[in-house]
Each structure stands twice: as structure tokens, then as C-alpha cells.
Structure 1
């Protein structure tokens, strides 16, 4: 559809909210959100008053003499985002679907507010402090890479760890869901995969309907439930006589799993919950892309995003994020050095002698299944890397 300075637009229903630095624009029909500066909001308001693009451009150039104003270009961006309903009375075809508002609404908001309110939110902070104190006073509680091996054979240990980890991930996501419901908003739980591992992720898009301070509650929801589970596991180990070996092993496995996932939350080169908290507190909502763009000047293997924009005053925040980005990579390397690599070496030291056992011995088949799984995972990783290289080369 051709646009000109004489064009007049009719926009889709929009809701505009002031944020920390700029404005959050919600497209009501689809439930999508966009960050825009003041000049864009003024342009939208004049469009809604029925002004032509030419007249709006003249007015904005007088109001913002320092800005480069091009209303045709801005209108084309709105058209690309499918925010325009009509151009000169002609309806614009859109492909967006109305957002679903039914996600977990069967959970009463009062249940969410029971777990997330002014009083309970402070208690989650207290639990974090107590958990740290537990580790300081009782260093023996600190997780070891061997905590994953509950049985003499490796595969039952790995299957138990996967089961425990799945339950803990669901509890983590339940924290997000209840935090969303505490504001009487819908919550969606998505199911995806990384290689062949199932991944659950709560869609926190409704958080944009809230003030920045309220959004942090939604981002912290999963970590709050993690700290609650960690507190329970550590307390049982400290204050109760857990004589059964399997129960004690599962408690240690819970501590190990939550500890590792908490470290991962600090890896800001991924969009973790803590990354979104950082983004929300600073008001820089494209800080990862701009941080990667900054780091790509010195680190060649960090690919620079092609379409990024740094608003005025965000340079210091981007530099700070770049430090967190590198720190996250170092934390990941530390996990490999102190946990993942020792676990792999230890597993193979227990597995390989199994090939010397008779075929009818369960230890032999434990070794076969474990090595077969390792080969499959390695093959999938190589396939994934090769596929990415081919796609990037095209």
C-alpha cells in the first residue's frame, strides 16, 4: 500500500502507558507491545486526531527541531508492525490473531496474591539470606558434582536426576504463573525443546500491562519458589535425621539442581529471569542486542545484531551489561570446570569397566545405554552446529 505525505491513517486500537524512559504501546487486538519515545507518541496522537502526514511532520519539526522527522517512514514502520487499520479510508489487511486471555485464569487471583504480596515478597528475600547463611555456616551442604550419582549404575542416577529436575522446573514455572495471577492477568505455559530435552517457559508478555516495579515480581516469581524449595531441602538436611540413603541423596540432588540453575540465571548472555529484571530496572529493553554489538568490536566470535538502536543516555547501561555478559560466560565456564566435566569423567570411569562384564549383566547394558546416549547427543550437537553454519553462510 502506497503512502504519501497527503495520506491520512486510522490506527488499530492502542493503549499507551508511560514507562521509565519512554512509552509502552499495546496493540489491544493482538496483545503485542512496543517501546516508543515521546516524539512517536505525539505523532500517534496527531494521527488519531485525523491530521495528514504532511501536517503532522510540519508540527513535529517545530516541536522537535533536533530530531529527524520523516512521517512517511514512520507510517511505513507502523504498517510493517500491522498497527494501521486504514489508509485514506482503505482497510489494511492484517494477519494478527486476537490474543487469548484464558491462560490459567481458572486459578483464582487470590491464590496468586497469597504467595505474592507485600509481606510474602519480603519473606522470599529472607529465605535467600537464610539459604546463603546455611551454606556459610555448614559448608558440607555445598553441592558436589557427585551428588547426581545416587546409584551404583549411572543410567538410573541420570533418570532420577531428570525426574527431579523436571519437577523443580515445573515448580519454578508455577512461581511465575502464580505471580502473574496475583495481578489477575492470564498466564501461558509453553512447551518446547532443546535437542530432545523438554523445556517449559511461562509467557510473561502480560507483564507489560504493569508498572516496572510490579513487573519485577513476575520475573522473580520462579526464583522465589526456587529459594523456597532450596530452604526446605537444606532444612531437612540440617534439622531432621534423614537416615534413608535415597531420601538424603534426593535432597542433595535438589540442592545441586537449584544451585546450578541459579548460577545459570546470572548468565546474562542468555535472556534469563535476572536478565529481564536488569532490563526492566534500567529501562533499556534492547540491552542484550546493543551489548553484543559493543562486544563484537573486540570479540570476533560474538555476532553483532544487524538492527539495533541505542536511545540517548543508554550507553553506560550497555557498557555495564557488557561486563555482566562476559561475567556470565565465565560463570558458565566455571560450571563446566567444577561440575559438568568432572561429572562426565566420573560417569565414564564407572561406565567403561561395564563393557568387561558378561552380556547378561545389568552393568554391561548400563554401559551400552549410557555410551549410546552420549553418541546420540554428540551427533545431534554436531548436526545442529553444522546446520547453523550452513544457514549463516547463506
Structure 2
């Protein structure tokens, strides 16, 4: 991490760190500016307090030994914070060196520092977006969801089908419309998370990730872990709240149309049906806690778990194959709450996998079959290089990109992991 190793005389710069008690004997420590946090015991929180007072690593070790009655490896703890990206290793070393040592570095070029880029949306002042997540707003969000469920019960024809993805008879144009709308709503879904984070004073970053067989946009709100649990729920649920409003706005006109209360054009009815399919799919996806979706974060916060997903996955994995030494250590050192909740959460995990397989066979594969079949038929029947021939080519490329995108994200993440390790 640095050109000079940390030593007993170092004075790590921990002045920007936030320390908040999470549980009876656990504290959350991190830098709100970078969104990186770790959970440490009470002794770790006291250690940071002493470092912030200006003591060296050696002085903190002596003070803690006097207070606790046993030696504490302060240097190892500081190195752990550096590796986790909580504190800057270069600053930690420089703080412990003499003025003469630092003066000798005056002619050396500065090492590049990794800067955290925050999404512009997340820089909105809290007072601007707070009304969107107050009691009145949440009453409206919940009311939209409840009203939609009532309409589904009263009229089952409003429930979505994979055929609703095709808005017009021209498949290429239909898929273009559907995907532009779906991607646009997905971006606003994430913006709503960022709005809720901004209302809570937390900045966000947008990134492309994978959840099972799905490629997703994700808003990184790591800074929420610096807040009390009760203040995390609104940002976690904000995206689903937006989806519930759009779903209601799509179902209500069709419900009124089915009862003859209003008149709608056939094209608008099909467009609204496509919106229903999109939003139902999104809301159903968020309930798949095993994919670390919004509801997983809600559940993990409510149960006080720290690493529930990995603990559950490893507890199931060891039933079918031997764990690596690192995986065994993670499971052995897991928090008691994670182990306790994992006993029943693993059932949800397995049920989620079953649902994902069902969804793939009933929605993704049928839609891909229709798309690829139609494209192949067009390419065979149309003259080469004609408009319809190119339309078939575009459809095949489009379908293959959608089917392989999760694999692309997996490869990208592995490449990044290897570079980080190097």
C-alpha cells in the first residue's frame, strides 16, 4: 500500500472516521467520504479514539494494555483498516515520520490517490428530497401497492404475461420500445434510491452488477451503515416505492377500461400491459432476498445480521462439497446472529433459486425463442442485405446480448478482482 511500512511510531490519520455503536459490544467504523465501513469490537472503537487524540501506535498499545489488562496488536488493527480502505496507508505512514523524513520527500512525485466519484443526483441537498420520503409520501406509496393488489384480485386478466412484452406487431420496434421503457424506469428506480439516500445525508454511486441470471443497475449506498438501523429502511425501499406508483398508474386505467368507465386505444392498452409486466417483474425480483436485493437489505437490517448472504451460501455449499480454508474460517468466525438467521433463511435462498429457474423457463426462454425464431425466419426468407434481413440480424444480436450480459458482468468482476489482488 505504501513505500514505507507502518511501524510503532506511526500516527495514522483517523480524524475523518465515524464511529457508531451498532450493538451491545459492536461498533461501525468507516469513512463517510468513501462509503467504506467495517464492524469492530469495543476495544477497536477505543483504539481509534486514542489514535484520533494524536497517540502513536506504540502509545495506543501501552494505553490499551493498561485499560484492558492484556496486550492488543494495534499495528495489525491499523494495517487491517488500511487494507479495507478505511484509512489511507500513505497518510498513516507520513504521520508517524519526522519532519526531516517528510522534507526529504518534497522532491518526490506525489503518488496517485484513488478518488471516490459520487453521482450528481446524490449531491442534492437533503431538504429538497425529504418530502418524497416523509409519512405522507410513504402512505401514498403503500396505498398505490394495496390498490393495485385489490385490482389484480378483482380482475385476473390484468395479471402480466410474457406476451405483453410485444407492444406492436413489428417485433423489432416492439422490443426497442419495451427495452427503452424498462431501462428508463430502472434508472429512475435507482435515482429514487439516491434521492432517499440524499434525504438521509448519504451519497450514492451507480454501477452495473449481476444478480443470478439477471443484469441489474445498482445504487451503492454503503454510507447508510453509518446511520442507525431505523434510518436505513427508507433508502432501501425507495426503489420499490417508485415501482409501486408506476404499477398503479399502469393498472388503474386498464381496470377502468375493462369495466367500461373510460375508453382507451388498443395501442395504449398494450403499452400499459407492458408496463405492468415490467413493474411486476421488478417488484417480484426485489423480494428475492437470496440475490441481495432491496428486501435482503431490509431483512438483514431488521435481524441485525452482518454477513448473512455469504454465511447462508457457505452453510449450503458445505453440504455438497468441501469448503476452502478461507471459507471455513469465514463460517467459523461468523457472527452468532448470522448463523442463527441462516438456519431458516437458507429455505428462502433455495426457494429463490427455484423461482429464478421457473422465471427463466416461463418468461425469459419463451421470449427469447419467439425473438430468435422470428429473426431466423426473416433472415431465411428475406433477400440478403435487405431491410428485413438486417432487422433479423439486429434481433439476434439483441437477444444474444441480453442472454449473455450476466456472463459478461461475471467476467468483468473477476478481472477487476485479479487486478485488485495484483
Same fold (TM over 0.5): yes
What residue is the counterpart of 2:38 in the other structure?
34
Matched, 1:322 2:343: no
What residue is the counterpart of 1:180 in the other structure?
197
What residue is the counterpart of 2:173 in the other structure?
156
CA distance 1:277–1:363, shift in 2 (3 Å): same
* Separation (CA, whole Å) in 2 of partners of 1:383 and 1:106: 31
CA distance 1:238–1:200, shift in 2 (3 Å): same
CA distance 1:380–1:171, shift in 2 (3 Å): closer
What residue is the counterpart of 2:293 in the other structure?
272
With normalisation by structure 2, the TM-score equals 0.76
Q: Cα offset for 1:55?
A: 2.2
What residue is the counterpart of 2:206 in the other structure?
190
What residue is the counterpart of 1:212 in the other structure?
229
Task: Say whether the 8 Å CA contact 1:291–1:318 is kept in structure 2.
Answer: yes
What residue is the counterpart of 1:44 in the other structure?
48
Higher mean displacement: 380-389 or 214-223? 380-389
CA distances 1:285-305 after superposition (whole Å, capped 9, x unpaired) = 322222222121024499997
What residue is the counterpart of 1:292 in the other structure?
313
In the alignment, structure 2 segments of 5+ residues that lack a partner are 103-109
Higher mean displacement: 100-109 or 285-294? 100-109
* Separation (CA, whole Å) in 2 of partners of 1:189 and 1:388: 17
* Separation (CA, whole Å) in 2 of partners of 1:303 and 1:153: 52
CA distance 1:310–1:25, shift in 2 (3 Å): same
* Separation (CA, whole Å) in 2 of partners of 1:29 and 1:381: 30
In the alignment, structure 1 segments of 5+ residues that lack a partner are none
Task: Note the aligned Cα RMSD (angstroms).
Answer: 3.8
Task: Say whether the 8 Å CA contact 1:56–1:71 is kept in structure 2.
Answer: no
Q: Cα offset for 1:385?
A: 7.7
CA distance 1:151–1:104, shift in 2 (3 Å): closer
Within 5 Å, give how 1:50-89 maps onto structure 2: 50=55, 52-59=59-66, 61-62=68-69, 69-81=72-84, 83=87, 85-86=91-92, 89=96
Q: Cα offset for 1:115?
A: 1.4
* Separation (CA, whole Å) in 1 of partners of 2:114 and 2:127: 30
Task: Say whether the 8 Å CA contact 2:194–2:203 is kept in structure 1.
Answer: yes
Q: Cα offset for 1:355?
A: 4.0
Q: Cα offset for 1:383?
A: 7.6
With normalisation by structure 1, the TM-score equals 0.81
* Separation (CA, whole Å) in 1 of partners of 2:350 and 2:372: 31
Q: Cα offset for 1:219?
A: 0.8
Task: Say whether the 8 Å CA contact 2:304–2:337 is kept in structure 1.
Answer: no
Task: Say whether the 8 Å CA contact 1:19–1:211 is kept in structure 2.
Answer: yes
CA distance 1:153–1:364, shift in 2 (3 Å): farther
Within 5 Å, give how 1:356-367 maps onto structure 2: 356-359=380-383, 363-367=388-392
* Separation (CA, whole Å) in 1 of partners of 2:135 and 2:175: 40
2:159 to 130, 136, 142: 142
Within 5 Å, give how 1:9-24 maps onto structure 2: 9-13=11-15, 14-20=17-23, 22-24=26-28
Count of residues in Structure 1 that have an aligned counterpart in Structure 2: 385
Task: Say whether the 8 Å CA contact 1:30–1:97 is kept in structure 2.
Answer: no
Q: Cα offset for 1:376?
A: 6.0
CA distance 1:364–1:169, shift in 2 (3 Å): same
Q: Cα offset for 1:98?
A: 6.3
1:165 to 142, 160, 182: 182
* Separation (CA, whole Å) in 2 of partners of 1:206 and 1:247: 41
Q: Cα offset for 1:375?
A: 5.2
* Separation (CA, whole Å) in 1 of partners of 2:92 and 2:414: 42
Greater share of helix: 2
Matched, 1:255 2:272: no
* Separation (CA, whole Å) in 2 of partners of 1:102 and 1:156: 32
